[in-house]
Structures are given as C-alpha cells and as structure tokens.
Amino acid sequence: MNQMYGFEGEVKSKYSQQMFDLFTEIFNQLPLCHLIKKKVIVMHGGLFSKDDVTLDDIRAIDRNRQPPEEGLMCDLMWSDPQFSHGRSQSKRGVGIQFGPDVTKDFLKKNDLEYVIRSHEVKAEGYEINHDGKCITVFSAPNYCDTMGNKGAFIKIKGNNLNPEFVSYEAVEHPKIKPMAYANSFSLFGLN
C-alpha cells in the first residue's frame, strides 16, 4: 500500500531508502486497535470473518510483521461494514464485509458499546451504521486530492462515551499533481 499510494516514493524522494525502512519498522509496531474506557474499540478496518473473536484473541496476534492476506490481523486492517446481515466477500479482495448482526454479536461477547473504524472515504468525514454501533471516521479531507470529501475526527470526553464529531475541509497544500509519488504500475496491478 505504501508503494501503491505514493508514501514510499515520497519518502525516498525527500529522504532515503533507510528512512522508508525505518517507517516500515515503526508501522509494524503500531497497535492494531485500541480500547477506550474498556467500552469502545478503535481499529483501522473492521470486524472478523469468524464468530466468537475475543479481545484476548486480538491481544494474542503477532503484531511485528506485515499484515497477512487472511486471519484476524487481515480483518482488522481490511474489513468494511455492510448494510445487510451476515458476512460477504470484500470488494477489496481481502478482509470481509460484515453486517449489523456481526457487530452486535462481537460487542455483546466482549462487553463493548461500539466500534470506531476508518478505512473508507465518507462525504462528511464520518458515517454511523449498524444502529449507531459501527462508526466510520476518515481524517483525510479531499482524499488523493480528488474525492472532495471532508475529513473528521471524534472527541470522547471524560467518562461520557458519546462521540462528538468534528468535520473539516481540506486546506491548500503545495502545488504538486495528485498522487505524484504513487507507483502507477501498482495502481493497475502491473507490478
């Protein structure tokens, strides 16, 4: 992904291969998810291709590696919510799409209130699904300089777990063509 969307090219252009290698090491150490007040789980992608996943199962994942193409780590990075119940194949080719019933069951099993995830552009920077139990928040406004979306973040204050949404517009940045550092061959599956 870093190669396809331009991060690798930009870092190498502005710094060095060594700097990109350091970023890769750091990314491999970042947490896969986070708990807020032991009631809200925050992740990049979404929920799982199998039932009965516990927080202990997530804690047991070997994190110091690149994400595999299947399993819990992959699902945390790649899965997306869907409106219909159950699970379906992901439009991304990895991970799954999960319905409101999957969210409800996961939250109940783990005594959680809701899921916050990212991974999808949303017009207002956020979207609430699954009866308020699955929130998507996307912080990159005007994604890839082409989408025209707002960015957003969530504030959760004190013991109150009610999310407060803050949306914002993109600001002008240095003049450079969109996706200037992307590997165009990767974008079309040619590498």
90, 96 Cβ separation under 8 angstroms:
yes
- Per-residue model confidence as pLDDT tens digits over 43-77: 999 999 999 999 999 999 998 888 899 999 999 99
| Tokens 């207002």 belong to residue | 124
User: What is the value of pTM for the model shown?
Assistant: 0.86
Cβ contacts of 114 within 8 Å, gap of 6 or more:
40, 107, 132, 133, 134, 135, 161
Quick one: CATH architecture of 31-173? 4-Layer Sandwich (3.60)
